[in-house]
C-alpha cells in the first residue's frame, strides 16, 4: 500500500546515519556494519516510497551495501558525504553540491491535467530529438511560467524521464548566491557536463532571480551568469550537433524577467492552476494504490478549484487525508505510540501500518486545514502576462 512514510523513513535514516558515523569514528566495526545495513534497507524503502528519487536512493543503498561489505578493509570517506550530492557523475560540475544530476523516473503519466502543455513540450522534445535537415533549427529552450506548485519542475522531470535523458535540476539563485565569484564558470561547466552526458535536460529554476537592477556583488554575479547562459543558449543554435541538450526554465514571476532573457525563450508556456478535471486526475495520482471508491471526486474537484489549489496543495491535501485514514485504521498503533517509541528500528520493521479506504470526511478535514497561498490578484497577474507575452 502506498502510504507516505517517507518522512518517517528520512528520520530513521538520519538516526542510523548518525550511529554509523559514530561507530566509524570509534572504529566499532560491528556497529559500522549494522548501521550500514540499516541505512541500505531504509534507502531501498525510500526508493519505493519516493518514486522521483528512486534511482538516487537505489544508488545510495548500493553504496551502503558496499560500506557494509568493505567495513574495516580500507579507509574511506563516509557514504553520507558522497551520497548527499545525489550525483552520479564525476565531472567538474558535480563538485557543486547544489545541483542534482539525476536520471529522472518521472513520466508523463505522473502529471495530472495540463494536456496541452504536455503535448507542446512533447512536441519540442520529439522534434529536437529527431534526426533532421540541418536548416531546421529546433527550439533549444522553453520557459514555463505560472503560480508555484503547478507542476513546472514535474514537467521538466517528465521530459527527462521519457527521453531517458540526464536531468540537471539547477536553482539559479543558489548558484548566484553561493558561488558569487565563480558563478558564470558554473554555467559553462554545467553545459559542458550536459554535452558530455547528452541527451540532457537542463532545468533552470527561479530564472527570475537573475536580476540586473541592484548594484551589488549579487547583481554583478547575476550579470555574469546571464551572459554565460545566453552564450550557451545562443551557441547551441549554431553548432552542428546531433546531441540533444534542451533547456527548460521556470519562474513564478515572469514579469520580473529581463528582456534579454525573455528573447532567448521564444516558447513561453503558461502553467495554470488545475481545473476541476485536472484536480481529480491529480488526486488519483497522489492516492495511487489506495482505495478511493468512497470519494465523490467531482465534489472534491469542485471544492479544490474554489480553494485555488495548486498541484502541490492537492498533494498536501491528499497527504493530510491519508494521515487521518492511517490514524483511523491503525488505532492500535497510534493509541500506543509511547510504547512503540521504545521499540528498536528492527522491531518496528516487523510491524506494518495498514491502509483502508479514504473517506469524504478525511478530505473535508484536509481541505479546511490546507490553505492556498495564492490571491486572485496573483492569478490574474499570470493571466495578464500570458496574454501579453505568452507564446507557444
Ligand X SMILES: Nc1ncnc2c1ncn2[C@@H]1O[C@H](COP(=O)(O)OP(=O)(O)O)[C@@H](O)[C@H]1O
Give contact residues for ligand X (rule: CB under 6 A).
111-114, 148-154, 250, 282, 285, 311-312, 315
Quick one: 154 exposed, middle or buried, by C-beta within 10 A (0-12, 13-18, 19+)?
Answer: buried
173 near Mg ion, judged by CB under 5 A: no
Shorter beta-carbon distance to ligand X: residue 154 or 269: 154
Tell the smallest beta-carbon distance from residue 133 to ligand X (Å): 35
**Could you tell me which of 177, 172, 374 has the C-alpha nearest to residue 383?**
374
Q: Give residues with Cβ within 8 angstroms of 308, minimum separation 6.
A: 273, 372, 374, 376, 379
Burial 241-261 (b: 16+ CB within 10 A, else e): eeebbbbbbbbbbbeebbeeb
Among ligand X, Mg ion, none, what binds residue 140 when CB lies within 5 to 8 Å by partner kind?
A: none
Stretch that binds Mg ion, among 94-102, 151-159, 328-336, 372-380 (CB under 5 A): 151-159
Shorter beta-carbon distance to ligand X: residue 15 or 302: 302
Shorter beta-carbon distance to ligand X: residue 128 or 285: 285
Stretch that binds Mg ion, among 24-32, 147-155, 240-248, 363-371 (CB under 5 A): 147-155
Tell the smallest beta-carbon distance from residue 363 to ligand X (Å): 16
Quick one: 380 exposed, middle or buried, by C-beta within 10 A (0-12, 13-18, 19+)?
Answer: exposed
Residue 109 CA to residue 89 CA, distance in Å, equals 28
153 near Mg ion, judged by CB under 5 A: yes
Q: Which three cell numbers stand for residue 328?
A: 483511523
**Could you tell me which of 210, 146, 153 has the C-alpha nearest to residue 384?**
146
Tell the smallest beta-carbon distance from residue 249 to Mg ion (Å): 11
Tell the smallest beta-carbon distance from residue 28 to Mg ion (Å): 42
Instruction: Show contacts with Mg ion in window 174-193 (CB under 5 A).
Output: none
**Could you tell me which of 47, 109, 248 has the C-alpha nearest to residue 167?**
248
Shorter beta-carbon distance to Mg ion: residue 41 or 153: 153
**Could you tell me which of 244, 57, 237 has the C-alpha nearest to residue 167?**
244
**In Å, how far from its chain's centre is CA 50?**
10
Among ligand X, Mg ion, none, what binds residue 315 when CB lies within 5 to 8 Å by partner kind?
A: ligand X
Among ligand X, Mg ion, none, what binds residue 60 when CB lies within 5 to 8 Å by partner kind?
A: none
Tell the smallest beta-carbon distance from residue 201 to Mg ion (Å): 14
For 281-295, the DSSP string reads: HHHHHHTTTS--TT-
Shorter beta-carbon distance to ligand X: residue 148 or 390: 148
Tell the smallest beta-carbon distance from residue 316 to ligand X (Å): 8
Shorter beta-carbon distance to ligand X: residue 114 or 370: 114
Q: Give residues with Cβ within 8 angstroms of 81, minimum separation 6.
A: none
Tell the smallest beta-carbon distance from residue 111 to ligand X (Å): 4
| Residue 103 backbone dihedrals phi, psi, to 5 degrees | -105, 130
Among Mg ion, ligand X, none, what binds residue 154 when CB lies within 5 to 8 Å by partner kind?
A: ligand X
Among Mg ion, ligand X, none, what binds residue 112 when CB lies within 5 to 8 Å by partner kind?
A: ligand X
53 near Mg ion, judged by CB under 5 A: no
For 215-243, the DSSP string reads: -SHHHHHHHHHHHHHHHHHHHHHHS----
Interface residue list for Mg ion (CB under 5 A): 153
Amino acid at each position: 500500500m502506498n502510504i507516505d512514510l517517507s518522512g518517517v523513513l528520512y528520520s530513521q535514516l538520519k538516526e542510523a546515519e548518525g550511529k554509523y558515523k559514530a561507530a566509524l569514528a570509534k572504529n566499532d566495526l560491528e556497529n559500522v556494519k549494522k548501521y550500514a545495513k540499516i541505512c541500505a534497507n531504509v534507502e531501498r524503502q525510500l526508493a519505493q516510497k519516493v518514486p522521483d528519487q528512486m534511482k538516487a536512493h537505489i544508488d545510495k543503498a548500493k553504496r551502503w551495501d558496499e560500506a557494509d561489505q568493505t567495513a574495516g578493509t580500507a579507509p574511506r570517506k563516509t557514504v553520507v558525504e558522497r551520497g548527499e550530492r545525489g550525483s552520479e557523475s564525476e565531472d567538474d560540475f558535480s563538485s557543486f553540491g547544489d545541483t542534482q544530476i539525476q536520471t529522472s523516473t518521472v513520466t508523463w503519466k505522473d502529471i495530472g491535467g495540463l494536456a496541452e502543455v504536455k503535448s507542446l513540450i512533447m512536441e519540442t522534445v520529439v522534434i529536437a530529438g529527431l534526426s533532421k535537415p540541418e536548416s531546421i533549427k529546433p527550439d533549444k529552450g522553453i520557459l514555463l511560467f505560472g503560480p508555484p506548485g503547478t507542476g513546472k519542475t514535474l514537467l521538466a522531470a517528465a521530459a527527462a524521464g521519457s527521453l531517458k535523458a540526464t536531468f540537471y535540476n539547477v536553482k539559479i539563485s543558489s548558484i548566484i548566491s553561493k558561488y558569487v565569484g565563480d558563478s558564470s564558470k558554473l554555467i559553462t561547466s554545467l553545459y559542458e557536463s550536459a554535452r558530455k552526458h547528452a541527451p540532457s535536460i537542463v532545468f533552470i529554476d527561479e530564472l527570475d532571480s537573475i536580476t540586473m537592477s541592484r548594484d551589488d556583488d549579487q547583481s554583478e554575479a547575476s550579470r555574469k551568469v546571464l551572459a554565460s547562459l545566453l552564450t550557451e543558449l545562443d551557441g547551441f543554435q549554431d553548432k552542428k550537433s546531433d546531441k540533444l541538450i534542451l533547456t527548460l526554465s521556470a519562474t513564478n514571476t515572469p514579469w520580473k524577467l529581463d528582456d534579454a532573457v525573455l528573447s532567448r525563450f521564444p516558447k513561453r508556456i503558461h502553467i495554470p492552476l488545475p481545473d476541476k478535471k485536472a484536480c481529480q486526475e491529480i488526486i488519483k495520482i497522489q492516492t495511487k494504490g489506495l482505495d478511493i471508491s468512497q470519494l465523490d471526486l467531482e465534489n472534491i474537484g469542485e471544492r479544490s478549484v474554489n480553494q485555488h489549489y495548486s498541484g502541490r496543495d492537492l498533494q498536501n491535501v491528499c497527504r493530510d487525508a491519508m494521515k487521518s485514514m492511517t490514524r483511523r485504521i491503525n488505532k492500535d498503533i497510534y493509541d500506543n505510540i509511547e510504547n512503540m517509541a521504545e521499540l528498536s528500528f528492527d522491531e518496528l520493521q516487523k510491524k506494518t501500518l495498514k491502509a483502508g479506504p479514504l473517506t469524504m470526511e478525511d478530505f473535508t478535514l484536509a481541505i479546511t486545514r490546507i490553505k492556498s497561498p495564492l490571491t486572485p490578484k496573483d492569478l490574474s497577474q499570470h493571466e495578464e502576462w500570458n496574454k501579453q507575452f505568452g507564446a507557444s
